[in-house]
């Protein structure tokens, strides 16, 4: 039995060569140079074209009729809420397993986020929990395609339609994810994406709002551009902020999108290989294989760790041993969103009308998300860009820890 790297042994993951990220290409460099030399650095110029190109190509790639490029993924969610005319005091249902922007965007428009539980198998919002949480002030739902694994639209859409709610898809992790042959984003009313540098489609920053609704798209274009139409300079039709994507972001992202399908296919092949390596390991589970998921985008690859199968070894001690074996892994989102200090009742109450009912967030205990945050182990999407030997080393490292678990319990 080989010695754990934590105790001086050779790391099992020495063969795992994870590429640096983000990765530029000659095309991305050429695109940015073109944008620099054009002198049209801001999308508002008549001769600016890179953001237009990216909107068109990304909308086509994600099966969306309309696409609006914005500064980042947080702004994208805020813009989506404004497009849907969310008012101060309205309630929006959000999952508690997500990045803070999913929920903080709700408070940015004076509305109240109400956290609903997730399915612990998929980490995505639970349709039954949505039904139970609806009040007479509920106007919509923001669901998240966590780690690129899509929400269950077959369960969610009937609920939102029955109760006349909107559905925003937070697809920050899901560039390329597909449900029953259609890319996510415009399956709900509005979809939002992030292109922050850690994402599989990386632009440093940047975001996108997509929809198939022409009326919502027209309003979104106004609200994105200080309330003005593209051909107006000092005529403003809405009171709005400036959410625009720069031409530099558009130039980089045009090039990055060209290579995304091939990279996602490589990730998908390596996901299959990784599943074959670890699905037989007692105490390690992956998310369900669902035939309705016809293509995957990736941001993270999540594993569920059962300490009982490792002699009671805590998840955090397991992670310490795994990273020592040179397998880059983390807890993912370390706590339910309702435990974040930013979501104290007093802080949220200061942002919403006095008559609004603000939940006692710190008193919440939702079992699905609390199970996820106790048991999750996340690998980044870049791990899935390594070679076969590197993927196999992940399984080797986990089995090595399990074989040596007694030495970690001393």
CA dist., res. 210 & res. 192, Å (int): 6
Please, which residues have CB within 8 angstroms of residue 388's CB and are 6 or more apart in sequence?
270, 273
pLDDT at 43: 86
CA dist., res. 405 & res. 410, Å (int): 9
345 found inside a domain: no
CB 144 within 8 A of CB 122: no
112 found inside a domain: yes
CA dist., res. 262 & res. 30, Å (int): 20
263 found inside a domain: no
Token pair 């051909």 is at which residue? 231
369 found inside a domain: no
pLDDT at 1: 54
Structure tokens at 150: 């899509």
pLDDT tens over the chain, length 410 residues: 589 999 999 999 999 999 999 999 999 999 999 999 999 999 876 778 999 999 999 999 999 999 999 999 999 999 999 999 999 999 999 999 999 999 999 999 999 999 999 999 999 999 999 999 999 999 999 999 999 999 999 999 999 999 999 999 999 999 999 999 999 999 999 999 999 999 999 999 999 999 999 999 999 999 999 999 876 778 899 999 999 999 999 999 999 999 999 999 999 999 999 999 999 999 999 999 999 999 999 999 999 999 999 999 999 999 999 999 999 999 999 999 999 999 999 999 999 999 999 999 999 999 999 999 999 999 999 999 999 999 999 999 999 999 999 999 97
Residue numbers annotated as active site: 99, 170, 173, 196, 199, 228, 234, 244
Of 137, 138, 135, 140, give the one whose Cα is nearest residue 160: 140
395 found inside a domain: no
pLDDT at 106: 98
Name the domain count of the chain: 1
Strand positions, DSSP E, 257-373 = 284-286, 293-295, 300-305
- The model scores a pTM over 0.95: yes
pLDDT at 48: 80
Type and span of the H or E element at 91: strand 91-94
Model pLDDT for residues 64-82, shown as the tens digit of each residue:
999 999 999 999 999 999 9
246 found inside a domain: yes
96 found inside a domain: yes
391 found inside a domain: no
* DSSP letter assigned to residue 151: P
Of 15, 20, 8, 2, give the one whose Cα is nearest residue 327: 15
pLDDT at 229: 83
* Domain CATH for 56: 3.40.640.10
Residue 229, CA distances (Å) to 20, 47, 56, 225, 236 in order: 40, 15, 18, 7, 8
pLDDT at 234: 86
Domain range for 74: 26-257
């Amino acid at each position: 039995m080989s010695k754990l790297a934590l105790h001086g042994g050779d790391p099992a993951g020495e063969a795992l060569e994870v590429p640096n990220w983000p990765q530029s290409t000659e095309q991305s460099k050429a695109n940015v140079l073109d944008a620099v030399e054009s002198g049209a650095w801001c999308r508002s110029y008549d001769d600016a074209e890179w953001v237009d190109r990216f909107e068109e190509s990304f909308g086509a790639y994600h099966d969306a009729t309309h696409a609006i490029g914005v500064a980042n993924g947080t702004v994208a969610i805020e813009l989506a809420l404004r497009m849907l005319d969310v008012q101060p005091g309205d309630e929006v249902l959000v999952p508690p397993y997500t990045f803070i922007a999913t929920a903080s965007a709700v408070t940015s428009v004076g509305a109240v986020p109400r956290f609903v539980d997730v399915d612990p198998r998929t980490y995505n919002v639970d349709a039954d929990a949505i039904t139970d949480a609806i009040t007479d002030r509920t106007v919509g739902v923001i669901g998240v395609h966590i780690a690129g694994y899509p929400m269950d639209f077959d369960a969610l859409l009937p609920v939102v339609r029955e109760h006349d709610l909107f559905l925003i898809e937070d697809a920050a992790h899901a560039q390329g994810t597909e449900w029953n042959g259609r890319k996510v984003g415009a399956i709900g009313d509005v979809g939002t994406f992030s292109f922050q540098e850690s994402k599989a489609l990386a632009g440093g920053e940047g975001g996108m709002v997509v929809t198939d609704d022409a009326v919502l798209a027209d309003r979104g274009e106004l609200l994105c551009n200080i309330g003005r139409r593209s051909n107006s300079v000092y005529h403003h039709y809405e009171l709005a902020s400036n959410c625009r994507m720069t031409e530099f972001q558009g130039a980089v992202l045009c090039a990055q999108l060209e290579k995304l399908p091939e990279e996602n296919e490589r990730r998908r092949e390596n996901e299959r290989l990784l599943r074959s390596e670890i699905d037989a390991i007692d105490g390690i589970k992956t998310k369900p294989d669902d035939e309705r998921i016809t293509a995957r985008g990736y941001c993270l690859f999540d594993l569920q760790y059962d300490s009982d199968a490792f002699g009671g070894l805590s998840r955090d001690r397991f992670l310490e041993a795994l990273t020592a074996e040179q397998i880059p892994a983390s807890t993912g989102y370390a706590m339910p969103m309702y435990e974040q200090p930013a979501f104290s009742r007093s802080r949220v109450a200061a942002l919403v009308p006095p008559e609004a009912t603000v939940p006692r967030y710190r008193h919440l205990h939702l079992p699905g998300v609390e199970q996820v945050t106790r048991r999750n182990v996340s690998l980044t999407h870049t791990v899935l860009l390594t070679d076969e030997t590197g993927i196999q080393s992940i399984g080797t490292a986990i089995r090595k820890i399990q074989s040596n678990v007694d030495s970690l319990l001393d």
